[in-house]
Structure formats: structure tokens, C-alpha cells
Structure 1
Amino acid sequence: MGAELTRRFDTGQFDDRYPYVRVGHGPETLLVIPGIGDAMFDGEYGRTDAVTTAATFRRFLADYTVYLVSRPRGLEDRRSIDAMARDYERVLADHVGAASVLGLSMGGLIAQELARERPDLVERLVLGVSGCRLAEGGRPIVRELHRLALEGEWTEIRARLYEAMFTGAWRRIVPTLSQAVGRIRPPDPAEPRDVPISFDAVRDYDGTDRLEEIEPRTLVIGGTADPFFPAAILRETHEGLPDGQLETFTGARHGVFLERKEGFDNRVREFLEDEVTQIREK
């Protein structure tokens, strides 16, 4: 990634409520809605976060202006996925404009409701490692993570999430490294209550009977061995959409977007570029 791209970034808060990072300089816009780890964020993006975001989305930066937007700190009055989606509606309507939307994990649940309520603001929708509901097999993990959140065990939560994300040797190495780092510099959520609230929101969400109301063309993409949104949930989500595509990575878990990053990013780009062409030809 060239120095020119790394210089093109901005950080701040929309309406003094929604922390964001903007990277890239492309003519198209991509809004990224992060997963549940966002609840353990301290609420302030800095230069290091911008450089990390630019590196994460480097394959998109020439053609897209990428906005990574966090949820507000303090979710007591917006405990449901629906309420969180209304926050992102405000961000798009008041600041970013219509955009393609990539929702990751919990962010994908929010993105579904955003697209259902405001198809005029969502040009294309990507549900990354996400589906219409949490799988039954993932519920015990979420319950345990919720318990740990009530006890403020942030380092342990992060390690457990990493265990659910990776395969092979990485599944052993990354959680262990995370715990070692956490003893020196543990996660520091700006609002600790946001963490159990977020786990509750994921557990309670079920958009199965509303999938047919999602108008934007949608890509459902994830790993078949994901404990939260496995192959059966990905297929169920795809089959319920009026205009959907499905891409699965055999044997991959919840961190497929990191562990098989090149394939994941290439498929997302292919989907977005195909849509951009169709929109321009209308």
C-alpha cells in the first residue's frame, strides 16, 4: 500500500456520537459495520486505527471510500438490533450518503435491518460471517460470553472469540497470544454495559421472516464451520432473500475474512463491481 493511500484518511465522530474512520479515495462508497468486538472499543479512533483499517481494506481503496463506523457508546436505550440499525440510517442519511454496506457478524444483523428499512440508502449488501439468526449451536457460546461480560472478563472474552474464529494451529496460537497481551494491555470498553447488551441483541435477533423484504442485491458469505453462522444458516439466509448470492468457504470458521482474506476480499469485490456496472448501465 503506497504512502499516498495511507495519507488519505480521517477519523472523528459523526454527531459527536458515532466514531468513524474514513480511508481510501475511490468514487464509490463502502460502509463497514463492525461485529460484537466493537462493544469493547474505547470509543476513539486514532492514526494507528486508520492505518490498520487502510491495511485491512487495501484491496478496496483505489475504487472505494471506506467508512468504518462504530456504534455509540452507551447502548442502554438502543438494546435491539432494530434500534442499532436506526443509528446507521442516520449516519448514511446525514453524513455518508447512499453506499454499499458490509456488515460483519453482529454488524451483518444490523445491516439486514438497515437494508430492509432503507433500501434507498443501501446500494448493495454484504452479510459477512452473518445470517438471519444465530445458530442453535452458537447459543451456549454466546451465553458464556455474556456471563463473562457481566464479570468484566474482557481478555477472556477476546480469547474465546478468537478461538471461535480460527482453524488449525491459529486456533491454539491466537487465543494464547491474546491472553498474554491482555495481561499487559487488556481491552478497555468505554461503556462496559455495552458488551452484555450486544450479546443479548445477537441472541435475541431473528430476521428469518423478514428476509423477503430486503430489496438490495445481497451477498451472503462465510465459513461452513462457523459456530455462530454455519453453512445451514448461510443457506437459509440466502434462500430467503429475493435477490441473493451465496459464497461459502469449506471448513472455515468465524474468522474466514481474516484467515482466508484474499479469497474473501476478492469475492466481495467481484460482487460489488458487478453491481456497480449494473447500476451505471441503468
Structure 2
Amino acid sequence: MRDIREGLLFGGLPYRAAGTGPAVVVFPGIEGDNADSSGRSRRRNLRVFRRLSRHFTVYVVNPKPGLAPGSTLSDLAGHYAEAIRREFDEPVHLIGVSTGGSIAQAFAVDHPHLLNRLVLLCSACRLSPYGRQVQRRLADLIRAGRPRAAWAATGPALAATTIGGALFTMLMWLAGGRMNPADPADLLITIAAEDIFDAAPDLPRVLAPTLVVGGARDRFYSPELFAVTAELPPSARLCLYPGKGHVGTVAHRRAIMEIDRFLT
């Protein structure tokens, strides 16, 4: 990747960027800490989309730190919209990953003039019942001061198979202490906001060309919800990968190639 840089967009939104060309803005999934002072999550997300940096300037942008209690995903989309309006001279391509995809849908509905093309990667119009259950368990254990158990509870939902889920449970247990923020307020607010989020009634208003990319074994959402999400916008299509779970789709080389083709 060329010309890697990082900083803050208007409103204090942390970003890391690489490449040259038209802007592609990535809204990442839940990472624990919006501020992410180490930049670890932004580096990881930028590596996922490094292929795009050959044609575009890829910006991985965290949500605004210090969310107001009771903030909705539309509020988070508004923070992003204000930053993009002030920092970029033209509409951007937008990739929303997982929970970031939920925010991206709110962005597309509320701020269409700032959007060129939309990619929803491992994200659908709402969480599946199981996905909602997992995120509620994550929030409950974080409130209880049990960060390792909290992040380990997400393990089974991240993988496509039972064995993979056991492996992710172990990995998330080991990483849980590092992932958990000193102040979990932003994380808990975001989980509560996605818990009640359902973009389906508003998606027919999304006129930007849209690509929905998902795995047929994604448990946070589901193949049925991916299909519904791709049916609602007038200019949307679905790319569904058999045998892939939540993390497996994000890391899937063919999925990134499909996104690259769609944006170019």
C-alpha cells in the first residue's frame, strides 16, 4: 500500500488511509473502542482492502468517540456525513462492514447526495435473532466486568462451523482483555442502537448502485436477510458465498475482488 497516513476527520473521527485516486470510505464493524488510540483495528481493516488502494484512496474511518447516550445508528451516520461533507469534494464510494454496514445503510438513506456506490459486506438490513442474542450477551458481560468472557461469547457467531466457532471462542478469549476499552460506553451505545435497527422500510429509497456481499453461513445476519437487503434498493444485487461465515467472508479474496470490480 502506498502513501499510508492517519489522523482525524472533522468532528474527531479517527482514520487511516492509503492509495491514490477517488475516495473509498470504509465504516468498520464493532471493534470495542471508537478512539482506538493504537490504530490496531484501522490497520487491520486497511490490510483487508489493500487491493482497492491500487485504484482508490481507501479511508478506514472509526465512528466518533464520545457518543451521546441513546445515540442511534442514524446519529452515527450523521457524524460520518458531516465529516465527509467537509473533507471530500465529491461523493464517495462507501463500504460498510458488519455493524458498519448498518451505519452505512442509515447513511445511504439520510445522506444520498454524499454517496456514489454502496457496498454492504457481511451486513444486512437488521441482525438475525441469533446475532441480536450474541450482541446482547456481549453487552451484558462487558457491563459485568468480564471482558474475556464477553468477547469469547461472540466466537461461535464469527465462524461457519462448530470447530471454527470453538477456535474463534478461544482466540477471542485471549484477545478480550486487549480489545475491551477502558470506557465501554461507545461500544454499549452502538450495540443498543443496532439491536433496534431495521433499515428494510427505508431501503427502497437508496438509489445508489449497491452490492450486498455475504456468506451463506453468516450467523450474525443470515442468507435470507442478505437476500431481502439486496431486493429492496432499486439498483442492488447480491453476491453470496456458500460455506462462508462472518469472518470468512470478510477475509475472502474473491469477495474483495468482487468489490473491486463493482467499484471500478
Tell me, yes or no, whether TM beats 0.5: yes
Task: Provide the rounded CA distance (Å) in 2 between the counterparts of 1:68 and 1:45.
Answer: 14
- Cα displacement string for residues 77-118 of structure 1 (whole angstroms, at most 9, x for unaligned residues): 461011011011012101134210000111111111111122
Q: Residue 104 of structure 1 contacts residue 129 of structure 1 at CA under 8 Å; is this kept in 2?
A: yes
Residues 236 and 270 of structure 1: CA distance in aligned 2, closer, same or farther (over 3 Å): same
Instruction: Name the aligned partner's letter for residue 159 of structure 1.
Output: A
TM-score calculated relative to the size of structure 1: 0.85
Residues 82 and 247 of structure 1: CA distance in aligned 2, closer, same or farther (over 3 Å): same
Which residue of 2 is the match for residue 279 of structure 1?
A: none
Task: Provide the rounded CA distance (Å) in 1 between the counterparts of 2:57 and 2:124.
Answer: 26
Count residues with an aligned counterpart. 262
Q: CA RMSD in A?
A: 2.1
**Are residue 112 (structure 1) and residue 105 (structure 2) matched?**
yes
Q: Alpha-carbon deviation of 1:22?
A: 1.0
Which residue of 2 is the match for residue 69 of structure 1?
A: 61
Classify the secondary structure of the residue corresponding to 1:30.
Answer: strand
**Are residue 175 (structure 1) and residue 169 (structure 2) matched?**
yes
Task: Provide the rounded CA distance (Å) in 2 between the counterparts of 1:226 and 1:92.
Answer: 30
**Are residue 31 (structure 1) and residue 14 (structure 2) matched?**
no
Classify the secondary structure of the residue corresponding to 2:59.
Answer: strand
Instruction: Name the aligned partner's letter for residue 131 of structure 2.
Output: G
Which residue of 2 is the match for residue 238 of structure 1?
A: 230
Which residue of 1 is the match for residue 96 of structure 2?
A: 103
Instruction: Name the aligned partner's letter for residue 100 of structure 2.
Output: G
- Cα displacement string for residues 190-211 of structure 1 (whole angstroms, at most 9, x for unaligned residues): 5311122111111110111111
Q: Alpha-carbon deviation of 1:53?
A: 4.3
Which residue of 2 is the match for residue 269 of structure 1?
A: 260
Classify the secondary structure of the residue corresponding to 2:112.
Answer: coil
Q: Alpha-carbon deviation of 1:241?
A: 1.2
Instruction: Choose 1 or 2 for highest CA Rg.
Output: 1
Instruction: Name the aligned partner's letter for residue 63 of structure 1.
Output: H
Q: Residue 52 of structure 2 contacts residue 260 of structure 2 at CA under 8 Å; is this kept in 1?
A: yes
Residues 21 and 78 of structure 1: CA distance in aligned 2, closer, same or farther (over 3 Å): farther
**Are residue 156 (structure 1) and residue 149 (structure 2) matched?**
yes
Q: Give the gaps of 5 or more residues in structure 1.
A: 274-282
Residues 77 and 17 of structure 1: CA distance in aligned 2, closer, same or farther (over 3 Å): farther
Residues 54 and 195 of structure 1: CA distance in aligned 2, closer, same or farther (over 3 Å): closer
Classify the secondary structure of the residue corresponding to 1:60.
Answer: helix
Residues 181 and 207 of structure 1: CA distance in aligned 2, closer, same or farther (over 3 Å): closer
Classify the secondary structure of the residue corresponding to 2:8.
Answer: strand
Classify the secondary structure of the residue corresponding to 1:255.
Answer: helix
Classify the secondary structure of the residue corresponding to 1:242.
Answer: coil
Which residue of 2 is the match for residue 196 of structure 1?
A: 188
TM-score calculated relative to the size of structure 2: 0.90
The partner residue of 1:13 within 4, 8, 14 is 8
Task: Provide the rounded CA distance (Å) in 2 between the counterparts of 1:49 and 1:142.
Answer: 19
Instruction: Name the aligned partner's letter for residue 14 of structure 1.
Output: L
Task: Provide the rounded CA distance (Å) in 1 between the counterparts of 2:61 and 2:72.
Answer: 18
Task: Provide the rounded CA distance (Å) in 1 between the counterparts of 2:244 and 2:106.
Answer: 26
Q: Residue 43 of structure 1 contacts residue 190 of structure 1 at CA under 8 Å; is this kept in 2?
A: no
Task: Provide the rounded CA distance (Å) in 2 between the counterparts of 1:118 and 1:218.
Answer: 15
Q: Alpha-carbon deviation of 1:50?
A: 6.2
Task: Provide the rounded CA distance (Å) in 2 between the counterparts of 1:74 and 1:251.
Answer: 38
Residues 83 and 41 of structure 1: CA distance in aligned 2, closer, same or farther (over 3 Å): closer
Instruction: Name the aligned partner's letter for residue 96 of structure 2.
Output: G
Instruction: Name the aligned partner's letter for residue 22 of structure 1.
Output: A
Q: Residue 81 of structure 2 contacts residue 107 of structure 2 at CA under 8 Å; is this kept in 1?
A: yes
Displacement over 6 Å in runs of 4+: none
